[in-house]
């Protein structure tokens, strides 16, 4: 249990390789679930795969969720816990100079490191960590990410064809995604900590892996963010997985599911090399 700003305790789960000793690199993960549902087990398969196959300590954060806790509470929770992990690296036997942050779907939205006004998710956490000069983050993994509120997508710069092409896609469709956004960001403000694609600058962010699914309404915003990162000089790897919808990795028999996990393992190993 980790205390956050208002005194609430937020739960973390720690995965550590068997028979490991000393300080290890860490993968700090924010689970998906549309900011409203999900828990540690939502990323359980990926957490186990990365822990076992790359030798990292995986730390999962179970942040407070909308609609009871809309933006920016979930992002602030995630960023506060990230800083706690870095401050307590010795106790956790974690190498605070080698941390990769990651997440899937809405969790990937919150993953970005840093911004000075408050904390937000994986893409958001990375931007905030940069802005506050929080050292030690060497990469970010954004899997099937939600990166921009549909009302504010910069269509003058990028295509968002997938939102209509895959409007009736199985697992998660356009209607579902709008409902989740309404719970998380009820006023639909164009805040770059809620919609990382709206950030004025992405320069200085860590190397990034982005995986997108071909039948996912979110596909094109992941591609757009990859293009924006590359334009800002951030080393970026984009991995499209053809012919599968959002959340396809729950179907373990799919070839694309094996590819999805292997892409993450290979990329993390490359960052640790």
**pLDDT tens per residue across span 217-229:** 999 999 999 999 9
Give percent of the chain with pLDDT exceeding 90: 86
pTM for this one? 0.94
Can you tell me the mean pLDDT for 14-24? 95
**pLDDT above 80 (res 119):** no
**pLDDT above 80 (res 81):** yes
Residue 39: per-residue pLDDT: 97
Give percent of the chain with pLDDT exceeding 70: 93
Residue 130: per-residue pLDDT: 76
- Is 95 marked active-site? no
∠ CA 248-219-221 to the nearest 5 degrees? 140
**pLDDT above 60 (res 248):** yes
- Is 246 marked active-site? yes
- The span from the CA of 121 to the CA of 104, in Å, is 11
- The span from the CA of 227 to the CA of 230, in Å, is 5
What does pLDDT average to over the chain? Answer: 92
The closest of 67, 183, 185, 180 to 124, measured between CA atoms, is 185
> Side-chain half-sphere of 105: how many Cα atoms within 13 Å?
24
In terms of residues, how long is the chain? 273
pLDDT band at 121 (very low <50, low <70, confident <90, very high): very low
- Is 131 marked active-site? no
The closest of 90, 16, 107 to 54, measured between CA atoms, is 16
**pLDDT above 90 (res 215):** yes
| Catalytic position from the list 31, 69, 149, 246 | 246
Q: At what angle do helices 122-131 and 73-87 cross, to 10 degrees?
A: 60
Stretch among 122-126, 140-144, 243-247 having the lowest mean pLDDT: 122-126
**pLDDT above 90 (res 128):** no
**pLDDT above 50 (res 12):** yes
**pLDDT above 90 (res 165):** yes
> Side-chain half-sphere of 248: how many Cα atoms within 13 Å?
27
| Catalytic position from the list 77, 191, 216, 220 | 216
159, 146 Cβ separation under 8 angstroms: no
| Catalytic position from the list 42, 105, 169, 195 | 105
């Amino acid at each position: 249990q980790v205390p956050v700003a208002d005194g609430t305790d937020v739960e973390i789960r720690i995965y550590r390789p068997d028979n490991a000793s000393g300080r290890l690199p860490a993968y700090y993960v924010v689970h998906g679930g549309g900011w409203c549902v999900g828990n540690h087990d939502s990323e359980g398969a990926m957490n186990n795969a990365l822990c076992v196959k790359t030798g990292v300590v995986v730390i999962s954060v179970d942040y407070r969720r909308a609609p009871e806790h809309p933006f920016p509470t979930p992002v602030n929770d995630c960023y506060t816990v990230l800083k706690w992990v870095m401050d307590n690296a010795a106790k956790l036997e974690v190498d605070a100079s080698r941390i990769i942050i990651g997440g899937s779907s809405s969790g990937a939205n919150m993953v970005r490191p840093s911004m000075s006004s408050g904390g937000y998710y994986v893409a958001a956490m990375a931007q905030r960590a940069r802005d506050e000069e929080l050292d030690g983050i060497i990469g970010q993994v954004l899997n099937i990410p939600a990166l921009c509120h549909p009302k504010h997508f910069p269509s003058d710069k990028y295509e968002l064809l997938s939102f209509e092409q895959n409007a009736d896609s199985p697992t998660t469709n356009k209607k579902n995604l709008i409902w989740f956004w309404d719970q998380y960001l009820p006023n639909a403000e164009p805040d770059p900590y809620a919609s990382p694609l709206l950030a004025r600058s992405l320069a200085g962010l860590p190397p990034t892996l982005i995986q997108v699914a071909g039948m996912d309404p979110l596909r094109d915003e992941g591609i757009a963010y990859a293009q924006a990162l590359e334009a800002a000089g951030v080393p970026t790897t984009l991995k499209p997985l053809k012919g599968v919808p959002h959340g396809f990795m729950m179907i373990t028999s799919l070839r694309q599911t094996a590819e999805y996990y292997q892409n993450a393992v290979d990329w993390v190993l490359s960052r640790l090399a």
